[in-house]
Amino acid sequence: MLLTSYVFLYVFLPAFLAAYYLAPRAWRSWIIALFSYVFYGWWRPDFVLLMWVSTLVDYSCGKGIVRDRRRERSGKRFVLLSCLSNLGLLAYFKYANFGVETLNGILASMGHDQVSWTAVVLPVGISFYTFQTLSYTVDVYRGDAEPASSFRDFACYVSMFPQLVAGPIVRYRSVAEQLRTRTHSLEKAAIGALIFQAGMAKKVLLADTFAIAADAGFGADSLSVLEAWVAALSYTFQIYFDFSGYSDMAIGLGLLIGFRFPVNFNRPYISRSITEFWRRWHISLSSFLRDYLYVPLGGNRKGAVRTYVNLALTMLLGGLWHGAAWTFIAWGAYQGFWLILERLSGKRSLFGGLPAFAQNLLTFVLVVFGWVFFRADSMGDAFRMMGAMVGASSGAGAGLFIEWTPMQTLAMIAAPIVVWGFRTTQEQAAAPRAWWMMVVFLLFLVSLMHLHRAANVPFLYFQF
């Protein structure tokens, strides 16, 4: 089920909120969990079983760590079990197809028979909830979090539908107290509704509009320089408004039921270096990679060379987390390359001496080129797009502007204003002005009308 679907907006959400607020407080976490299982299993009910496996294993591992410590043992065996189960599920469902395809490509090039394989269907959002449950076990082992006081609270934490399929990645320690007891107020609910409406407008009116030119451009055989840049910029805006829009919707829904989730995007396109970009982009993921991968690898504590190796490995695996394809690995390598160069220059961009506007512009261009790897269907497609962007394509163009709509023109005008001219949705909603509230509400209504007309609503998270 999608947060932008009719079923969710007109049936699921009203029914959930009614059940949640009519239920006794002691039942509310169970209400969240049960509705979340319906939400997640709407497409494939059997995939709920995978979530139950992660929930049961990691809840038991947390308890096991505590028991081991009482017996003066480290509890490391339970962390190992958690890692093997979570990463094993992720490896099979997310990377098995990629591994077999890669192996068959190698076998074919050597003239050998290929491996017969039935493609594995990827459960939506598996990367998010496996990372969450894994972080719980590691935090309990490190002493950074207390084990869940009840299975009810942990099941609620793992399955919570607002951020289940698209993030942000919520760590148990950040919501542990809220799972036990949380406050509800009209003010909190009003702010949550406002954030949800703004996020939906970003997703439906901006991201989905930019998807038209992005899909057409990246699917074309040849593009002019202008078409290539329009396609690349369209995807750059699409992925930001889609990711941040969904995060806003999740954060808003959380507030409606008393939870405060962490901010996931902090105006990343105003960054003046790639290092700063990663402090602002998908913050819950970048901080996860830092705390559970980069730092355990040694971080910057073991000399310069080891620091650069750790950065490269972290970003390569971060790219692979996003999807099982060489293009995602290339995107991770690209990000790691720039992070290493900036580390060599003292965590500053190579153009750090330029005026702030120029630093931002050049960083943005680097980010745009990076998104080409992220969006392209193959490495060949990525290089063809980049070639067209720098004028190296000899193609006649794809006629990208023949069916250009007024809505696309409005989106191209509005996107830079929103990206560079406004604070984050959470900052705007914390002290909302009357005009902003009115604009958000009107855009939300327009979004609903647009959904009724749309034949297809893009969903970027199937690969995650």
> Does residue 418 carry a pLDDT above 90?
yes
Q: What tens digit of pLDDT does each residue of 167-184 get?
A: 788 899 989 899 988 889
pLDDT higher at 90 or 346: 90
What pLDDT sits at residue 127?
86
| Average pLDDT of the segment spanning 442-463 | 80
Confidence of residue 300 (pLDDT cuts 50, 70, 90): confident
Residue 128 CB partners (closer than 8 Å, separation 6+): 163, 164, 165, 166, 167, 169, 464
- Of all residues in the chain, what percent are helix, strand and coil, respectively (each to 5)? 75, 0, 25
192-230: burial string, b at 16+ Cβ within 10 Å, e else: bbbbbbbbbbbbbbbbbbbbbbbbbbbebeebbeebbbb
pLDDT higher at 102 or 55: 55
> Does residue 20 carry a pLDDT above 70?
yes
The two tokens of residue 294 are 């980069």
What pLDDT sits at residue 462?
61
Confidence of residue 395 (pLDDT cuts 50, 70, 90): low
What pLDDT sits at residue 455?
65
The per-residue DSSP string of 311-366 comes to HHHHHHHHHHHH-SSHHHHHHHHHHHHHHHHHHHTTSS-TTTTS-HHHHHHHHHHH
The pLDDT mean for the chain works out to: 89
61-81: burial string, b at 16+ Cβ within 10 Å, e else: bbbbbeebeeeeeebeebbeb
> Does residue 347 carry a pLDDT above 80?
no
> Does residue 154 carry a pLDDT above 80?
yes
What pLDDT sits at residue 459?
67
Residue ranges covered by each domain of the chain: 6-182, 188-272+349-463
* Cα–Cα separations (whole angstroms), residue 309 to 199, 303, 323: 37, 10, 22
> Does residue 404 carry a pLDDT above 90?
no
Confidence of residue 324 (pLDDT cuts 50, 70, 90): confident
What pLDDT sits at residue 461?
64
Q: What tens digit of pLDDT does each residue of 111-147 get?
A: 777 888 888 888 888 888 888 899 999 999 998 888 9
Confidence of residue 394 (pLDDT cuts 50, 70, 90): low
322 is catalytic: yes
The per-residue DSSP string of 191-260 comes to HHHHHHHHHHHIIIIIIHHHHHHHHHHHT-S---HHHHHHHHHHHHHHHHHHHHHHHHHHHHHHHHTT--
Q: Which 8-state DSSP code applies to residue 101?
A: H
What pLDDT sits at residue 233?
96
What pLDDT sits at residue 126?
86
Percent of the chain, pLDDT > 90?
56
Q: Which of 289-293, 298-302, 377-381, 438-442 has the lowest mean pLDDT?
A: 298-302
Reference 313, options 291, 289, 286, 285; nearest CA is 289
> How far apart (Å, rounded) are the C-alpha atoms in residues 352 and 363?
10
> Does residue 370 carry a pLDDT above 90?
yes
> How far apart (Å, rounded) are the C-alpha atoms in residues 277 and 369?
14
| Average pLDDT of the segment spanning 246-260 | 93
Reference 287, options 392, 131, 150, 415; nearest CA is 131
Q: Which of 66-75, 160-169, 249-258, 438-447 has the lowest mean pLDDT?
A: 66-75
On whether the pTM is more than 0.85, the answer is: yes
Catalytic residue among 184, 322, 450, 452: 322
